[in-house]
Amino acid sequence: MAKRIVLDLDLCCGCRSCEAACKAAFKGEARIRHGDIVGQAYLPLACKHCKEPLCMAACPVDAITRDEETGLVTRSAMVCIGCQSCAFACPFGVIDAPLVRHVSQKCSLCEDREDGPRCVVACSSGALQYLSDEEIELHEIGMRMVSKDAFFRRKA
């Protein structure tokens, strides 16, 4: 069953535990990053593992592949030539452009860890969740408003 990292923006407190957890696990190269929306909200950016990944389409050497069963989009470090095409193609800007090891960094949903991605367990406010498509349907993501800013208020 395809599972994804889901962000409930209303709950994010901007502590950046997710980024630190990723960076500590992947030798100083974070694959989830942190955006700051003009001081109003904090937005962790992680790979969405798209159904039709543009990064995969852009890759000239087919280093990026999608597993139809799990929905996981993976990149093979052995095949990657570090051309950055995927980084430019990604509409969410979540593939890291700085090429530390001469290949681009990409979230693998911590497939080496049985209990799911590290950023999700490390999340101190419960904003990041690891859910399947069915669970996402049932979950009221972004329907609860914590921020008191009128611009972001969705539920009184």
Partner 1 sequence: MKTIDRSYTITKKTVCPFCSFGCEFGLVFNDFGVSGVEYLKEGSSEGRLCPRGSAAAFYLNHPKRLSMPVKDGKTIAWTKIVKDMKKALEKPKSVAVTFDRNITIEEYHALAAFCRNAGIEYTASTYCEPEALLRQFLETPSTLNDIDNAEMIVVVGDPFNQAPMISKSLINWELKARNNRLIVIDSIRTHTAHFASDFCQVTAGTEALALLGLAGETISGVDIAAVSGLDGSRIAEIGASFKAAKKGVIIVCLSFAHCFDPLLLIEALSRLQQYSGKNVMPFVEFAGFEGNHYFGSIIELAKRKKVKHIFNFGELFPFYYPQLAHALKGVNMYVTSPIKQNGYTTLPVALNLEKQGSLLTSFGKKKLEQAVTPASGARTVAEILSHISDGAGQEKPFSAPSITVDVKAQAASLAQKARMSKKKTLTLLGEKIAYDFLGLLDDPVLKVNPADAHELGIRQSDTVAVKSKHGETALKAKLTNDTAPGVVVVPAENPDVRGVFDYEIMNDIVCFIPTEVQLWRKE
Q: What residues numbered 62-101 form the site for partner 1, per CB under 8 A? A: 67, 69-70, 72
Q: Which is nearer to partner 1, 11 or 131 (CB)?
A: 11
CB contact at 8 A, 64 and 106: yes
The Cα 60–Cα 64 span in angstroms is 9
Q: Which is nearer to partner 1, 67 or 134 (CB)?
A: 67
Q: What residues numbered 39-68 form the site for partner 1, per CB under 8 A? A: 39-40, 42, 67
3-state DSSP call for residue 130?
A: strand
The Cα 30–Cα 46 span in angstroms is 10
Q: Which is nearer to partner 1, 51 or 113 (CB)?
A: 113
Instruction: Give the binding site for partner 1 (CB under 8 A).
Output: 11, 13-17, 19-21, 23-25, 30, 34, 39-40, 42, 67, 69-70, 72, 111-112, 114-115, 118, 121-126, 144, 146-149
